[in-house]
Structure 1
Amino acid sequence: MSGFLAGLCAAALPLLAAGYWLGRRTTRPQSLGGLGTPVEHATFQTLHTASLAAPPLRAGLTEETARKAARRLRSLLGTDALCLTDDTRVLTWDGVGAHHRGEIMEHLTGPLETGRGEAFRLTCRAPDCPVRWAVVAPLTVDDRVHGALVACAPRESAVLVRAAAEVARFVSVQLELAELDRSRTRLIEAEIKALRAQISPHFIFNSLAVIASFVRTDPERARELLLEFADFIRYSFRRHGDFTTLADELHAMEHYLALVRARFGDRLTVTLQIAPEVLPVSLPFLCLQPLVENAVKHGLEGKTGTCHIRITAQDAGSEALVVIEDDGVGMDPELLRRILAGEVSPSGGIGLSNVDDRLRQVYGDDHGLVIETAPGAGMKITVRLPKYQPGVHSATRLIES
């Protein structure tokens, strides 16, 4: 089950009691529209309203997200007014009585420090203002108070105290999911930076050394290789987006292979077989080049003679199948397992575990690298890429769960 659905169920189900109470007050049998009993109708309305309030909150607690969610949250509680705050100010006020902002903030010091809810009377000289009482429910993420949900009503209500606490818990769950999303994004960015750091030092040195060797003997060849080098570096260090297309990734890989072939000459041969229909398929940025570099490394190191690398990308129904195969020295399967598990650091830091981790994070554990190898038997790496666009997979998996 996806994080969103789990969070919605965990936080929304306790709201049903409040939804049932509100439904008894506001729902008439003749307005059910075929949804069944008043209790069933109230349950549906509560869950539906909660689902509408959740998406803005998944972006964190800001003025904009609070404003978008406040009206739905107030509808859940059926109150005259509702406001959301951070730890210093009111982010949004929905409903009547906005002139109570200052008074509300004065009462928030205790709840924000202790993380405990409070209820208090409001002082108001406006005769037409219905707001006379407020309930404060703190919003907590990882045991730290980030703000508060404040529900305002004409009079005290024990039901409203409970309902406000449950709605605040629902909001807190969404904020926790938002923090998890941000943590995941930061992790992916850190892994890409780490992968760049692993690739760059030795590759840049070797490439520049090869280019320098052609400067006097073949200036035109040196110029061509310098352009290949510039294009590959520009792609590797780009900053827009975590995803790319298979076409762009293969194009960058060709720049890399041109530099490698210039270095090793006839010792390295590469065969590519690419189905045109899979070129638009999306995949995590900088996934294929580390696998090709791994093939070059294990195909040439510790081996005399030539190395042949075969790269194929085929249409496999709902997936694109990418295979990178070399006839090099291979590897002990147990050592490979430990490398992918992070128990052993690979020599040269080629990044197989980095790519495997990112594929699993994006597509699930069943889409990690499939590697076949043995000492002296070369290595075959298979990558299965779903054809849906980035971001669509979560909805697909939600439906399946």
Structure 2
Amino acid sequence: MQLILLLTQQMCLYLVIVYLLSKTPLFKLFAETATRLPHKIYIYLIFSGFCIMATYFGEQTNDAIANTRAMGAVLGGLLGGPVTGFLVGLTGGLHRYSMGGFTDLACAISTTLEGLSVGIVGLYLRKINKSELVYTPLLVCLVTFSAEMLQMGVILAVAKPYADAVELVKQIALPMLLVNSIGAALFMSMVRDQKTMFDKLSSAFSTKALKIAERSVGVLSKGFDQESSTKVAQIIIEETNVGAVAITDKEKLLAFIGIGDDHHIPGTPISSQITQDAIEQNCVMFADGVETSYACSISAQCRLGSSLVIPLRCESEVIGTIKLYEPKNKLFLNINKTLGEGIARLMSNQILYGRYEQQQSLLTQSELKLLQAQVNPHFLFNALNTIAAIIGRDPLMARKLIQHLAQFLRINLKRTTGLVTLADELEHIDAYLTIEKARFIDRLSVTISIPESLHHYKLPAFTLQPIIENAVKHGTSHLLDPGEIEVTGRVQQESLVLAVTDNAGLYQTSTDKDQSGLGMSIVDKRIKNLFGNGYGVAVLCEQDSYTRITITLPLSTTAHSED
């Protein structure tokens, strides 16, 4: 009875150590399947240490040591597999052998066999897809009991003299069988509880994240604005049950749902310093209201008491924030902190995907329009008719027109939708205008006033030609008087500004994109997608007087390099 109490004290010491260990991140490794080498090494070190400690703290009995060493070997084998279990048992056995006594060899052999045999049991359970049984305290108790029975058999078979071995087994068998079995089961019970808690948290986290992802898919891909942000904020607050959810861009509040929505008004500028810091520093900011004070920047009566602000990133640029709040009477849960960061990544990816989809859609649309323009049937028909009319009276002129038509078609076929130099664009325009001026004879004059110093700047292909074609097709061709088109270029405030002006003044806003020829709106969208909303196409029209189309491009992005 006394030996049972002594071994129980030793077991309790281990369990206290295990309890303290359970408060560290390292304890999570016990709840994972040991498949990686660092994991196995960690298990080997921990349970080898238990074996050695158990031997040191064991109770001397008839020139032998009664101890709880078997717990380390058994648990090492179950959690780490046969190789790890063998090494744990071997280390514990060799240490026991170094302590001497008539059971030293028997204990060394039995401890090694315990680690190896139990490791094989654990491996077998994993192979038949029943690895969860490894964490069952009852199974661990039975396995440890069997391992200790094996140890008693080895002592009887190896220890000499046999009579002393029998006497020793009579004294230590029951205490060691009971204490080691119960201790291993209690240890695994703690591991199982931790594993269950981790699994529940992971399941809850995954379920919430998947629901949010499922409900919000496609919302932000249509645009990062007040309408889409409000929809996403409503989804998040329904799934997380936090006090409030807010979404901002870099300047203003786009959406606010929850406590405090009476004074946090969408569309108002960002007033919170913590939000501004998150945007400027591109990092997560957390004010729990305890260690880091939090106070609403708008209303002193606001019931919100803590805030988590996470930047929304599109590639490497911060484009806004998502903010989760809790009221003053509620703590901010760690799972909501982690979930908030996951939601921010999800939203950032959706916004990035939306921009990518928009660019792809516009690019495809532009390419289709431009492919149609490569062999514009109206232009080709008019050009051939013009050549046919001229060829009889002026064969040389007809030959030149055919050459210009061939050059125009060749440029169309060879040109990509990427960036070209302004000189290349002007060459394309010259081939087009030569044919058009021959068609209208003296009823069309074109003046191009762009300094040669600007010819090396780059711009998207098919930027000027569609605009000039619109000026002819929808402008000067409808005049009774001679049509005049002027093309100018200049540098203004770090921008390249090109302008196409006709003297028709017939421009009309229309929802029918065909009314803009190849699509002035497409040219505008292409430029905005490439360079930002600060650039693009602007129209100034004075009816029956003039129409001026201005194209603005950034100098820093037009890649001015000598070709």
> In which range does the TM-score fall when normalised by the shorter chain?
0.5 to 0.7
Post-superposition offset of 1:260: 0.8
For normalisation by structure 2, the TM-score amounts to 0.39
Cα RMSD, aligned residues only: 4.2
1:358 alignment counterpart: 526
Name the SS of the counterpart of 1:369 in structure 2: strand
Q: Percent identity?
A: 26
Post-superposition offset of 1:311: 0.8
For normalisation by structure 1, the TM-score amounts to 0.52
Alignment CA distance shift 1:223-1:188 (3 Å)? farther
Whether 1:312 aligns to 2:269 is no
1:312-355, CA deviations, whole angstroms, 9 ceiling, x for partnerless residues? 11122401121111112x136xx42xx2xxx3445473422222
Name the SS of the counterpart of 1:127 in structure 2: helix
Alignment CA distance shift 1:123-1:295 (3 Å)? farther
| Structure 1 stretches of at least 4 aligned residues deviating more than 6 Å after TM superposition | 132-136, 159-164
| Whole-Å separation in 1 of the counterparts to 2:407 and 2:382 | 16
Return 5+ residue gaps in structure 1 as ranges.
1-24, 27-78, 81-94, 100-121, 145-158, 393-401
| AA at the equivalent of 1:305 | D
| Whole-Å separation in 2 of the counterparts to 1:255 and 1:124 | 78
| Whole-Å separation in 1 of the counterparts to 2:372 and 2:543 | 25
Post-superposition offset of 1:261: 1.2
Whether 1:368 aligns to 2:536 is yes
| AA at the equivalent of 1:204 | L
Return 5+ residue gaps in structure 2 as ranges.
1-23, 30-34, 40-78, 86-130, 132-194, 219-332
CA contact (8 A) 1:236 1:286 kept: no
CA contact (8 A) 1:282 1:388 kept: no
CA contact (8 A) 2:528 2:534 kept: yes
Q: Pairwise mapping of residues 66-145 of structure 1 onto structure 2 (< 5 A)?
A: 96=36, 127=84, 143=217
1:180-229, CA deviations, whole angstroms, 9 ceiling, x for partnerless residues? 34313322322323432664221222223323444454444334323322
Name which one, 1 or 2, has greater alpha-carbon Rg.
2
1:56-79, CA deviations, whole angstroms, 9 ceiling, x for partnerless residues? xxxxxxxxxxxxxxxxxxxxxxx9
Count of aligned residue pairs for this structure pair: 256
Residue in structure 2 matching 1:290, options 466, 469, 486: 466
| Whole-Å separation in 1 of the counterparts to 2:551 and 2:403 | 29
Post-superposition offset of 1:239: 6.0
More moved, 349-358 vs 312-321:
349-358
Q: Pairwise mapping of residues 272-351 of structure 1 onto structure 2 (< 5 A)?
A: 272-328=448-504, 330-331=505-506, 335-336=508-509, 339=510, 343-345=511-513, 347=515, 349-351=517-519
| Whole-Å separation in 2 of the counterparts to 1:242 and 1:201 | 24
| AA at the equivalent of 2:359 | T
Post-superposition offset of 1:369: 2.3
Q: Quick one: higher RCO (CA 8 Å, sep 6+), 1 or 2?
A: 1
CA contact (8 A) 1:360 1:366 kept: yes
Residue in structure 2 matching 1:378, options 543, 546, 555: 546
Name the SS of the counterpart of 1:292 in structure 2: helix
Post-superposition offset of 1:387: 0.5
Alignment CA distance shift 1:386-1:209 (3 Å)? same
1:244 alignment counterpart: 420
Post-superposition offset of 1:271: 0.9
| AA at the equivalent of 2:506 | M
| AA at the equivalent of 2:367 | K
Q: Would you tell me which structure has more helix in proportion to its own residues?
A: 2
Alignment CA distance shift 1:161-1:311 (3 Å)? same
